[in-house]
Amino acid sequence: MYDPAAYSIDLNQWPNVKVTPPGPESERLHGRASAIMKGLSGQVRLFPVVFSEGRGCTLTDVDGNRYIDFSSGIYVTTLGHCHPKVSEAVAKWAGRLMNAHDFTTPVKVELLEKLLEVLPKGYGGVQLYDSGTTAVEAALRTCRAATGKHEFISCFMDFHGKSGHAVSLARMNSFYGPTRAPGFYMVPRPDTYRPWWTRTDGSLDTEKYLEFYDEFIKEGTTGQIAAFVLEPIQGWGGTIMPPDDFFGKLRKFCDERKILLVADEVLTSMGRTGKYLCMEHWDVVPDVVTLGKGFGNGFPVTAMVVKEQYADAVDKISASTSYGGNPMACAAALACIEVIEEEGLLAHATELGQYFTKRMTDWVKKYAIVGDTRCKGCLMGVELVKDKNTKEPFDEAGKMVYQKAFTKGLAWIPAGHILRMSPPIIMPMDVAAKAMDIIEEAIAETQKELGY
């Protein structure tokens, strides 16, 4: 069961920002790095802090500033930084056998069997990779091999990685790619806050989305759709939740048309939302799932998992890679699952989510600039708007809240007008409360400064 004492921190000591970040040492080191390192993320460009240490749900920078971690890197360190069991497992294999191509190793066997034990019934084929993107690419090739069909449908604002076909599943404008690959099509996905199609009472009409998909397949594609690929909850897109009836209906829609359903769970799996797979919230079992980020808690290990009946298709795609499934990677992923089980972390992530939901629901009532809040376990989003009726995005407010909270000691992810939050699921309740206080203070100050 979850033991808060294992992760407790002294809230008189944490957070503690002595020097306004980025402090002088951060600036000095970042200056040296950024003279050479190009292509930095918006997160780093907005706040070029140099971190030197992470423990549990805390981070320290090179100027001695202490932060509460509310981003888990970028949805990665779900079990907190340097969980001793994960670090020891990696160190053990780093000293014994680092790579043996895709030969079986004892630790790989243990991981594969454990993974199938914790996932919903029906899965029977796994391949391991070193990034979410390669797992997604493998999923696409597997779907083509399994169905003999070649086209894909994905959703507006989803994100699946930055290689050729993964990019073709997403918005193209920021990736500098030539064009969408042939056979890749996109459709709108239901967003309860900003619905495209509604019933007469204004609520989102899921059926209308499915009617559109049907029409779109007939009119816009060759009809040879191998798979519908989507994130269960959009991460980069702003923690966009589907209505509860969506995935059940989409499963039926795909089955009726012999289209495979691929859930890209790189961001949402392994406890992030309080379940191993986010799709379990809706009792829907996708044909193919991709796992990443929290799967290795920071060690680069990812997976493509397919239902038993599609396992043979994986044999057809030349699926193995140089690093996929190396002993350190397997040890990290196995240790993560064991930690989640032994420490009762799915239940704790759910409990944290209930607390976060309660706090954030109040913000919608209390603050004029908070249009909507969303939360499943430890995956959360707050949407800031200029006006609750027009729902006009408030990017300036998003930037201000992000920077204010960071300066108060909360390390987290900026995303325009949608504040994205993904605390580690090991976080004790008092630390979670402190973090929410900091965000609320930042929202209140921002609202006042902007004259609302």
- Minimum gap (Å) between residue 262 Cβ and ligand PLP: 11
Q: Is 295 in the site for ligand PLP (CB under 6 A)?
A: no
**Identified binder of ligand PLP from the candidate list 54, 242, 292, 325, rule CB under 6 A:** 292
- Looking at the Cβ atoms of 22 and 232, the one nearer to ligand PLP is 232
* Nearest position to ligand PLP, beta carbon: 132
Structure tokens at 46: 């907005």
**114: which residues sit within 8 A by CB, 6+ positions away?**
334, 337, 338
CA distance 14 to 107: 37
CB of residue 405 to ligand PLP, shortest distance in Å: 22
Stretch that binds ligand PLP, among 157-165, 172-180, 311-319, 437-445 (CB under 6 A): 157-165
- Residue pair 281/241 in contact (Cβ under 8 Å)? The answer is no
Stretch of 108-116, 158-166, 345-353, 426-434 lying at the interface with ligand PLP (CB under 6 A): 158-166
Q: How far is CA 412 from CA 71, 201, 338, 405, in A?
A: 5, 37, 27, 9
Least Å from the CB of residue 280 to ligand PLP? 17
Nearer to ligand PLP, 292 or 398 (CB): 292
Based on CB atoms, which residue is closest to ligand PLP, 191 or 231? 231
DSSP letter (8 states) at residue 123: E
Q: Which two tokens stand for residue 161?
A: 């990685």
| Residue 78 or 133 with smaller CB distance to ligand PLP | 133
Would the CA dihedral through 162, 166, 168, 170 be positive or negative?
negative
Query: Considering only residues 122-151, where is the footprint of ligand PLP by CB under 6 A?
Result: 131-133, 136
CB of 422 to ligand PLP, least distance (A): 11
Total residues interacting with ligand PLP, rule: CB under 6 A: 14
Q: d(Cα 247, Cα 232) in Å, to the nearest integer?
A: 8
Q: Which one among 21, 56, 80, 161 touches ligand PLP, defined by CB under 6 A?
A: 161
Straight-line distance from the first to the last Cα atom of the chain, in angstroms, rounded to the nearest whole number: 45
Decide if residue 294 touches ligand PLP (CB under 6 A).
no
74 to 133, contacts with ligand PLP by CB under 6 A? 131-133
Output 170 or 427, the one with its CB closest to ligand PLP.
Answer: 170
CA distance 149 to 143: 8
The residues in 218-237 that bind ligand PLP, with binding defined as CB under 6 A, are 231, 235-236
> Nearer Cβ to ligand PLP, position 15 or 235?
235
Alpha carbons within 13 A on the beta-carbon side of 25: 11
Name 297's Cβ contacts closer than 8 Å, sequence gap at least 6.
Answer: 76, 77, 78, 79, 83, 86, 332, 336
- Spatial distance between the Cα atoms of 290 and 160, rounded to a whole number of angstroms: 10
Q: Does 269 bind ligand PLP (CB under 6 A)?
A: no
Q: Which of 159, 184, 247, 356 binds ligand PLP (CB under 6 A)?
A: 159
Q: How far is the CB of 169 from ligand PLP (least distance, A)?
A: 9
- Smallest distance, ligand PLP to C-beta of residue 296, A: 10
The span of 17-25, 37-45, 77-85, 155-163 binding ligand PLP (CB under 6 A) equals 155-163
235-264 positions binding ligand PLP, by CB under 6 A: 235-236, 264
Q: Name the residue nearer to ligand PLP (CB basis): 69 or 130.
A: 130
Sequence-distant contacts of 364-371: CB under 8 A, at least 24 apart: 367/443, 367/444, 367/447, 368/447, 368/452, 369/394, 369/397, 369/443, 369/446, 369/447, 369/450, 369/452, 370/443, 371/193
Minimum gap (Å) between residue 281 Cβ and ligand PLP:
16
Q: Contact, 277 vs 287, CB < 8 A?
A: no
Peptide bond into 182 cis (omega under 30): no
Q: How far is the CB of 161 from ligand PLP (least distance, A)?
A: 4
- Which candidate, 256, 273, 289, places its Cα nearest to that of 119? 289
Instruction: Categorise residue 125: left if φ over 0, alpha if ψ from -120 to 50, beta otherwise.
Output: beta
Applying CB under 6 A, does 72 fall inside the site for ligand PLP? no
Tell the smallest beta-carbon distance from residue 249 to ligand PLP (Å). Answer: 22
Binding site for ligand PLP (CB under 6 A): 131-133, 136, 159-161, 231, 235-236, 264, 266-267, 292
